[in-house]
A = this chain, B = another copy of it.
Amino acid sequence: MKWKALDAEPCSIARTLSFVGDRWSLLVLRDCFLRVRRFEEFQRRLGVTRHILADRLKRFVEAGILSRVAYQTSPERHEYVLTQKGLELYPVLMAMARWGDAWMDDGAGPPLRYRHRPCGHHFTPVMCCSECGEPLDPRAVTVEPGPGLGSEDAQLLPPARQNPAS
C-alpha cells in the first residue's frame, strides 16, 4: 500500500493518516495549536528542512486543515492558521500528549501542563463515550460494520470476537 492509497481505504484511521501519518505533519500541527503561524517560526522551532515544511504547509492548505492568510502586502506575506477542520484534530494531539506524559517521562515530570479555563483546574484529557460520558476502556468497546464498509471489506473486521482490545 502506498501513501496515496491511504485516503481511499475503508478505514477512518487510515484516511486520517493520509494527512498526519508522518512526524513532521503532527509537529507542525502541534505548533499551530501553540499559535505558531509563520514559516520562519515553524522552521526555527522545529528544525525541519525548509522544503519539507513548505510541502507540509501546502498539503494542509490544500486539505483545508490550515488556511493561508495574508498579514501584509508589499511584499505579500502569509501566515497559516487552523481551520475548523484543523482545530478538530486537537483530540489527536492531546491523546498523544497524554500518552507521552504517562509513558515517556524522563523523570522530570510533564513538560507542559494544561488548564481548563471553564473549570479552572489542571487536567489530563480523557477519552469518553459521547452517550454516557464514561471514560472509554478499549475492552468495553465493540466494533460493528458501518454503512461505509463495503461487503468485500468485511475481512477488515475483528477476526473472532467483535471486541477490539487485546
Q: Do B148 and A109 touch (CB < 8 A)?
A: yes
Given A126-B130, A147-B108, answer yes or no on A95-B100 (Cβ-Cβ < 8 Å): no
Given A30-B13, A92-B92, answer yes or no on A35-B164 (Cβ-Cβ < 8 Å): yes
Considering only residues 1-37 of chain A, those with a C-beta below 8 Å from chain B are: 1, 3, 6-7, 10-18, 20-23, 26-27, 30, 32-36
Q: Do B13 and A27 touch (CB < 8 A)?
A: yes
Considering only residues 112-132 of chain A, those with a C-beta below 8 Å from chain B are: 112-119, 121-132
Interface SS of chain A: helix, strand, loop or mixed? Answer: mixed
Cβ contacts under 8 Å, A147 to chain B:
108-110
> Which of A54-62, A70-78, A79-87 lines the interface with chain B?
A79-87
Copies of this protein in the assembly total 2
User: Which of B10, B97, B100, B121 is the one whose CB lies under 8 Å from A111?
Assistant: B10
Docked CA distance A13–B104 (Å): 10
User: Which of B45, B127, B155 is the one whose CB lies under 8 Å from A95?
Assistant: B127
Docked CA distance A5–B126 (Å): 28
Which are the 4 A-B pairs with shortest beta-carbon distances?
A12-B100, A21-B23, A109-B147, A82-B166
List the interface of chain A (C-beta within 8 A of B).
1, 3, 6-7, 10-18, 20-23, 26-27, 30, 32-36, 41, 45-48, 81-83, 85-106, 108-119, 121-134, 136, 138, 140-149, 153, 155-161, 163-166
Kindly list 10 other residue pairs between chains A and B, CB separation below 8 angstroms, not including A34-B156, A95-B127: A11-B112, A12-B98, A16-B99, A33-B138, A33-B165, A35-B158, A89-B99, A121-B131, A123-B130, A127-B127
